[in-house]
Chain A
Amino acid sequence: MSTYLIEIHPKRAEFDPLGRQVKNELIEAGEPPKTAVVETSRLFRIGGNVTAEQIQNVATTLLLDPIVETATVEDTAPVKGKKPAKARGGFVLDIWPKPGVTDPVGETVEKGLRDLGISGEISAASAQRYFFPKASSESLIKNLAKRSLANELIHVIDIRKG
């Protein structure tokens, strides 16, 4: 059993209208317009007997719109000697559904996986990622998350340094 984290992000800012929308909310939350930069991406956590090759295929043929997006696949299992990703600064905010909360997107991904010939026990969950490369206050991001992007009754809010 492996678990993979797949991140699908817009190729360019012009393909990220959600980011533009959240930028306004970030400013409303108190971030100065100069440093109010938001990038968004979609996250998928996929578990099961899935090979690295299969997961690449899942990313490119199921999850990704190749015209406007790129994909990054990460095996969440710790690999010896794996270097941590280079810090980009700012903060990353991931919003996952709490366990047990309906995740229709995750269910559709599971169907898509079977269409690709992946069988056996599989699980898929979906999340939204926001990246604030120039933000300096974690509490402001937390405030934004609680105020407008997530609801702790149904979401797990994960904020960390970018």
Chain B
Amino acid sequence: MSLVGKSNGHKEPVNALVVRAAGTNCDQETVHALTLAGATCDVKHVNEILTGRIRLHPFQIVVFPGGFSYGDDIAAGKVLANELRLRLKDQLQRYVESGKLVIGICNGFQVLIKSGLLPGFDTIDSEQLATLTLNDSARFQCEWVGMAAENSAATWLDGLPPVFELPIAHGEGKFITASPKVLALLKKNRQVILRYAPVNPNGSEAAIAGICNARGNVVAMMPHPERFVTRYQHPNWPSLPARPNDVGDGFFFWEKAVAHAKSLFQGVAR
């Protein structure tokens, strides 16, 4: 079925694929957030994609959610990243080049960075150029932290609240680039989407919490916007000012992703 030429506002649903593997554990709240934002979701085991039973191209959004893929036993996200890089590279390359969205949250960020989809100076970088490694505290941290959104190459994210809070829950979230050149290029290309502010909880370079690829359609972050889609998820909700529909700040991320995916129906070749 081709959707080419269908107009925005069309009833055609945005289809999101949430990819899981052994140890993925944020798939349910991710589906919930995407569904609230208006997407239709499929949750599929990576095995089904690797064996070709499921193809990426019918989806407008592919999400790698949080968790501990394969236990994060070697280094966080590494084994799943290898599966993608070694067995799914061509399909991923075509998918990313089509301009559709890839989103990585927490473990998904670790997977995307270790598979070369991020920083994504090329569609898929030939070598790993940055990493997410052990927090300075050397332990897992689950806490709510402040974020500052940046206007970035992912222009579809423009208009997020300038500062807001999100929960983090990771042991390996310290963002480090391979060299100052990589960091400079990230800045030059406007690939930083989120920074920790005012407190940098894990020692990340330039307090980076999330980045996108050069084109702006592969986006990932360590914090969990899917865990703040209603205000009642915030740790100070009894004292938060009221807000239309009681939404939480994380919801806007998913809303913008779905809106952008919808805009892809407008004449974007698939």
Contact = CB atoms under 8 A, between A and B. Distances in A.
Interface of A: 15, 17-18, 20-21, 61-63, 65-68, 104-105, 107-109, 111-112, 115-116, 126
Interface of B: 70-71, 73-75, 78-79, 82-83, 86-87, 114, 127-131, 133-138, 176-178
Nearest to B136: A17
Contacts of B82: 61-62, 112, 115-116
A18 B137 CA distance: 9
Contact of A108 (B74, B86, B137, B178): B74
A112 B79 CA distance: 6
A2 B47 CA distance: 31
A57 to B, nearest CB: 11
Contacts of A115: 79, 82-83, 86-87
B73 A66 contact: no
Contacts of A112: 74, 78-79, 82
Contacts of A65: 75, 78, 114, 128, 131, 133
B74 A67 contact: no
B50 to A, nearest CB: 10
B121 to A, nearest CB: 15
A105 B74 contact: yes
Given A67-B177, A67-B178, A108-B79, A15 B133 contact: yes
A111 B87 CA distance: 14
A67 to B, nearest CB: 4
A66 B179 CA distance: 12
Contact of B131 (A62, A67, A104): A67
Given A115-B79, A115-B83, A17 B134 contact: yes
A61 B131 CA distance: 14
22 contacts: A15-B134, A17-B134, A17-B137, A18-B138, A62-B79, A62-B82, A65-B75, A65-B78, A65-B114, A66-B178, A67-B129, A67-B131, A67-B177, A68-B131, A107-B73, A108-B73, A112-B74, A115-B79, A115-B82, A115-B86, A115-B87, A116-B86
B138 A21 contact: yes
Contacts of A66: 127-128, 131, 178
Contact of A109 (B74, B130, B178): B74
Contact of B71 (A15, A20, A62, A105): A105
A87 to B, nearest CB: 29
Report which residue of A65, A105, A112 has the largest number of chain B beta carbons within 10 angstroms of its beta carbon. Answer: A65
Nearest to A64: B75
Contacts of B135: 17
B138 A17 contact: yes
A119 B177 CA distance: 34
B133 A68 contact: yes
